Amino acid sequence: MKKKYAAVVLLTGVLMLNSCAANNSDSSKATVTDDIKSSGSVFAMDTYMTITAYGQNGKKGIEAAQKEITKLEKLWSVTDENSEIYTLDHSGGTEVPVSAETEELLNFAIDMHWQTKGALDITLYPVLRAWGFTTGEYCVPDDSEISALLECKGVERISVGNGKAYIPKNTEIDLGAVAKGCAGDAAAKALKEHGVTSALLDLGGNIQTIGDAKPDGTKWKVGIRDPFGEGSIGTLAVGECAVITSGGYERFFEKDGVIYKHILDPETGRPADSGLASVTVIGKEGRLCDALSTSLYVMGLDDACAYWRDSVDLEMILISDDGGVYVTEGIAENFSPKVENVTVIER
């Protein structure tokens, strides 16, 4: 069930994703220790990541988080010849040893494939490569090439357990749809283990927060990107959670007047034509939000809403190709839109 409400909030000085934790002006609510702010960055998983932590343990926490992210990239890179995923992709159909982290993430990705009825498929890597989305050498593959590559995909071909993984020859996997979310979870855990109770992680648009409020007592403010232009379509106030967005605007190319976007439909091997421009998923677990932001984009509005109604502790902001904004009821009151009308999705 959906209902309409008009936006009545005028946004002034909207904070975008990489500066959400900058406002600590209310000194009456912050202690001297809370006022200590540390920042760090790392380039990993093909994106620039920043971490801002508050408190006396912030610097050590950030260093630990950076090490965790770097470690995971070395495990999951599809281009690093020393990574476990590269080794698996080039194993020629033989079983290879994998770490506990890789085994866990592979099992999670397989489970999400079945939960989303195939909308998330980590075996699409050869198809993505054929389009040039992994290399930047863009082209439109012909139907016969796509059909041949689709014959090699299939999550059911993956076998993983007891510290080993197997995929048949000509099948290749890419954990890009879940890796950053999982890295965010691991980085947040590292920060907490070092005593950090307030932090903001921006992993290339994947936002994760630590603490139900900033040191000044206010909620974290996350700008939701406008998929049709610069700036945001609104601001979301959140506590401790992950806020992860996927959209066709992130990577695309144009040929002969046609725009081809990087999120592929596993059924067709072509850019998903779901009617959605972007999907933002809000929840407690980064890897789940990451996986769902991609798969719900592929599903389209109606199926995404149906999935949400069957879920627990999960919220969404969907933007359609025609500019419609759809917000689930659990976060509607915390979303301050710039557009005039927003549709609230009810259970």
**Residue in the structure block whose two tokens are 């005039």:** 340
HEC assignment per residue over 145-156:
HHHHHHCCCCHH
Q: Is 279:245 a contact under the CB 8 Å cutoff?
A: yes
Distance CA 96, CA 120 (A): 24
- Residue 49's H or E segment, with its range, is strand 47-54
Select from 127, 169, 133 the least CA-distant residue to 268: 127
Give the side-chain half-sphere CA count within 13 A for 14.
22
Task: Tell me which residue has tokens 């195939």.
Answer: 118
Q: Which amino acid is at 43?
A: F
35 closest CA partner among 17, 20, 53: 53
- CA 271, CA 263: separation in Å to the nearest integer? 6
Location of structure tokens 């197997």: 166
Contact between 247 and 271 under an 8 Å Cβ cutoff? The reply is no
Q: Which two tokens stand for residue 210?
A: 């630590």
Annotated binding site: 177, 290, 294
Residues forming beta bridges with residue 252, ordered by sequence position = 261
Q: Identify whether the C-beta of residue 85 lies closer than 8 Å to the C-beta of residue 77.
A: yes
- Amino acid identity for residue 141 in this structure: P
Residue of 181, 203, 210, 185 lying closest to 292 (CA atoms) = 181
Sequence ranges of the binding site for Mg(2+) = 177, 290, 294
Radius of gyration of the chain (CA): 20
